Structure 1
Amino acid sequence: MSFQPNETDVVILDGGLATHLEALGCDLRDELWSAKLLFENPAVIRQAHLDYFAAGADVATTASYQASFPAFVRRGRAREEARALIQLSVELATEARDEAGGGVIAASVGPYGAYLANGAEYTGDYDLDEDGLVEWHRPRWEVLAETEADLLACETIPSYAEARAIARLLEETPNVNAWVSFSCRDGDHIGDGTRLADCAALFAGNPQVVAVGINCTAPSDVKSLISHISGSPIVVYPNSGENWDAENHRWTGVADPVEFGAAAREWRDAGASFIGGCCRTTPEHIRRIRDELA
């Protein structure tokens, strides 16, 4: 598993996989979220990857964010089937990459909070300590590390303990490259209140870590957050800028791809070298980023 970006270019990531799957007609109201399509409709995942490549993305992030062994077992799937489904997430992205004519496969490693399905991926309010998090992550980590993915995308990390767990797993697997991105509550702190600078310092100078940064975060906080990262290339893929109204179960605000693309230029100028989108971003957002940074 190896990936070395061109230092002179910005790497364009994809956008919200689940967002685009919903646009393609999928109902993701499920604890497995997009991972349920790995056994219900894998072809639509492949199509979503193709659409992002067509929009100008250099990277396909796999549908393994919520595809953990415990999550599949909780749904009555045998462990061997769970293993095959996690592997399938990479195979689908690889097929799309090959059809598109090139690109990078980032195997998504979602946080423990995604398995809890209670919003803890934004707060870091966990019932496991660092050792427990290492053991929880290890089975999926080992499967993804053996696939043809170019790197692991350790994303939406809200907890300093979870960041330390990921650092330990990287030590266990010296052949693995990864980026590590955090969900942040403001322009300085990750979800559990730890300073982003302290989290980024865990990975500074690590040759296995291709980038450190933020995702699933308000775009208005990105420039400030970039300023707190040193010692590593920087990855940013925030949400669209819309807000979730939990009481009424709907998104509010406007997700303007043009404004998002213009903001991407500011993030590049501030130091980001991997740029894309997270929740509520679409192929059109990625197309605008590509146009702005061309």
Structure 2
Amino acid sequence: MSDLISKDLENKKGLVVDGAMATELEKHGVKTDNDLWSATALIENPEAITAVHKSYFQNGADIAITNTYQANVKKFMELGLSEEESKNLIVKAVELAKKARSEYFATLSKTEQSKRPYPLVAGSVGPYGAFLADGSEYRGDYDLTEAQYQAFHRQRMELLDYAGVDLFAFETQPNFNEAKALVDLLTVEFPEQHAWLTFSVKDSETLCDGTSLYEAIHYFDNIEQISAIGVNCTTLENIGDIVKNIRSVTDKKIIVYPNNGDIYDPVTKTWQKNPQADTFSDLVPTWLSAGADLIGGCCRTTPDDIKQISRIVNQ
């Protein structure tokens, strides 16, 4: 498969990634304060997932991220589903995103369709820390072998690939060794696929596990199948410096999708409002100037946030 991100950026100054899934699912009555988080909706309310994807497309998203960040066969089977049922849920997550895309695109006029690239569907591959469901994706304090990391991720990637994602989203990666194992798995077993790689960071220069951001970016700089590299699930205020730091060591496309500014407690799995937080409208112009190519939202962001990003990226 060709590098669809680079192709779509040929005539645009940036692409818009969608926003939070769990936040919007909660508005549809889905309970996400459990080990499955937003993946709960794959079992309880799949129609809500389609509705959320569609709302982001309608507000300017060029890329949808599948609802598979915390979805994996082992966790589903622990809840009593069969292996086949569990596999089908991951395939279903892709199908729901593709359904939303086709339904949305069909509502556009031919002129409107010609003015924007056909939206992409990125298959979310969350870190091993998300499977632990104890906030480890914000610490990276776990240590598996390369073979163990790959054994954990392989089946989900196979199912996402089978279901027809346009690329993988290796997201919220806090652990450098896990990221290396994931990318090795990509290049060896999925040679026709591409991925973006976004890290979970402690600050603007350091991954959560203590690895230098510069070292991590440099390591993946020459991997052709990594279409874009960056960060997600960090504060809005970190992004400007992070983009500058990444641009100093790579010419790859840079992707950033931060949280909306609210404060998360990983123990209670709840959020507190932060009325002092900046807005995307305030900050996106500076991120574009610093070199960001793909911009979206992570935790607590809404279709309105994506609309703000889209308006600036496309003006």
The one-letter code of the counterpart of 2:19 is G
Shift of 1:231: 3.5
TM-score (norm 2): 0.88
Assess if the C-alpha contact under 8 Å between 1:203 and 1:232 holds in 2.
no
In 2, distance between residues paired with 1:246 and 1:164? 26
- Aligned partner of residue 293 in structure 2, secondary structure: strand
Query: 1:66 aligns to what?
Result: 70
In 1, distance between residues paired with 2:273 and 2:266? 10
Query: 2:85 aligns to what?
Result: 81
The answer as to 2:274 corresponding to 1:271 is no
The match for 1:122 among 138, 152, 165 is: 138
- Aligned partner of residue 69 in structure 2, secondary structure: coil
- Aligned partner of residue 153 in structure 1, secondary structure: strand
TM-score (norm 1): 0.95
* Pairing 1:193-272 to 2, within 5 Å after superposition: 193-229=210-246, 230-245=250-265, 249-254=270-275, 259-272=279-292
Shift of 1:72: 1.2
Assess if the C-alpha contact under 8 Å between 2:21 and 2:67 holds in 1.
yes
Aligned-pair Cα RMSD in Å: 1.7
Question: Over residues 222-280 of structure 1, what are the superposed CA-to-partner deviations in whole Å (9 max), with x where a residue is unaligned?
Answer: 11111232131100000111212568844131386x82122111111111100000001
In 2, distance between residues paired with 1:171 and 1:72? 28
Shift of 1:104: 0.7
Query: 1:35 aligns to what?
Result: 39
The match for 2:98 among 94, 98, 102 is: 94
The one-letter code of the counterpart of 1:252 is K
Shift of 1:113: 0.5
Shift of 1:6: 2.0
Assess if the C-alpha contact under 8 Å between 2:236 and 2:260 holds in 1.
yes
The one-letter code of the counterpart of 2:138 is Y
Query: 1:156 aligns to what?
Result: 172
In 1, distance between residues paired with 2:145 and 2:178? 8
Q: How many residues align?
A: 293
Query: 1:25 aligns to what?
Result: 29
Q: Which runs of 5+ in 2 are unaligned?
A: 106-117
Cα separation, partners in 2 of 1:221 and 1:146, compared to 1, 3 Å: same
In 2, distance between residues paired with 1:246 and 1:149? 30
In 1, distance between residues paired with 2:263 and 2:199? 18
Shift of 1:207: 2.2
The answer as to 2:123 corresponding to 1:107 is yes
Identity %: 41
The answer as to 2:22 corresponding to 1:5 is no
In 2, distance between residues paired with 1:279 and 1:153? 16
- Aligned partner of residue 272 in structure 1, secondary structure: coil
Which structure 1 residue ranges, 4+ long, deviate > 4 Å from structure 2? 245-249
Cα separation, partners in 2 of 1:255 and 1:66, compared to 1, 3 Å: farther
- Aligned partner of residue 283 in structure 2, secondary structure: helix
Assess if the C-alpha contact under 8 Å between 1:14 and 1:59 holds in 2.
yes
Shift of 1:206: 2.2
Query: 1:175 aligns to what?
Result: 192
Query: 1:57 aligns to what?
Result: 61
Shift of 1:128: 1.8
In 1, distance between residues paired with 2:182 and 2:259? 23
Bigger CA drift: 237-246 or 265-274?
A: 237-246
Q: Which runs of 5+ in 1 are unaligned?
A: none
- Aligned partner of residue 84 in structure 1, secondary structure: helix
- Aligned partner of residue 123 in structure 2, secondary structure: strand
The match for 2:160 among 141, 144, 150 is: 144
